[in-house]
Structure 1
Amino acid sequence: MRFVAPDFATISVRASLRYDQSDPYAVHVMFHPDNPESEHVSWSFARDLLSSGLVEPSGIGDVRVWPWVTPRGDAIALALSSPDGNALFEVSKSLIARFLRRSYAVVPKGKEPECLDLDVAVAKLLAER
């Protein structure tokens, strides 16, 4: 993944994508700090948003994704916004497509409700109070 600076210079960032069938609608991006004493940062958002962003601008709000062409090839732009600031990243389109194919092999599109354990989800929500 590459961070895109305001002048469009890019900097490599250590990050990983994760999909968990127990949270079937979401994908997770984990940013890994270079400093081992720093905490990692994690963003979660809809798998469908990432999928749509491969072909058209998608998302309104904190997470937006759209096709992006770079000197390194086709990519997607991933824009993240929070009260602490905004960040723009570029990610290889082929990497995202491969990640999504693997996630759909685990839980096919439309089969997400079959993976939800509502009792666990409600208990988790109640425990967070």
Structure 2
Amino acid sequence: MIQGLPAKLVGVHATSLPMIMNLRYEPSDPYVVHAAFTTDADSDESVEWIIGRDLLIDGLEGPAGEGDVRIWPTGEEGCRDLYILLNPPSGTALLKAPAQEFKAFLQETEAVVPRGAELGHSDFDRLLAHFLAEG
């Protein structure tokens, strides 16, 4: 399942750059959500991050995460935004997106693979092949 969300790259002095955040969820890799960020809907160039599904779900309710990915909601119920701070060694990016659209996407993922039932949907052969190929 794939869903495109409007997002903003938040800069200094209250500047922002509109972006599109394409979220992808694969039941064979049920613990994560792939997020590809691009500034142009027609562009083939994007930056992709893999974010834990539980981290996103927890981040809708309150501050979640540590290290490279941190997530927190802001605003009043019904018009909340979700902030995602990506903090790799090469730099930092702060993204803002509508929390309601994230919530709808995550509810769809839970309809496909309920939270807590991920183990039964994992493709261990694919994961093992991936890890062996990297080694």
The CA distance in 1 between the partners of 2:86 and 2:94, in whole Å, is 6
Aligned partner (choices 27, 30, 37) of residue 31 of structure 1: 37
Counting matched residue pairs gives 126
Shift of 1:99: 0.5
Output the TM-score relative to the length of structure 1.
Answer: 0.89
- The alpha carbon displacement at 1:82 in A equals 1.2
The equivalent position to 1:12 in structure 2, one of 10, 18, 25, is 18
Question: What is the aligned partner in structure 2 of residue 98 from structure 1?
Answer: 104
| Gap runs ≥5 in structure 1 | none
TM-score (norm 2): 0.85
- Mapped pair 1:124 → 2:130: yes
Bigger share in helix: 2
**2:4: which partner in 1?**
none
Moved over 3 A (4+): 33-36
Shift of 1:120: 2.3
Distance 1:15 1:79 in 2: 14
Query: CA offsets, 1:22-42, max 9 Å, x none?
Result: 110001110124384x73210
Task: Give the whole-Å Cα distance in 1 for the aligned partners of 2:17 and 2:130.
Answer: 37
Partner of 1:66: 72
Give, in angstroms, the shift of residue 51 of structure 1.
0.4
**In the alignment, structure 1 residue 86 sits paired with structure 2 residue 77:** no
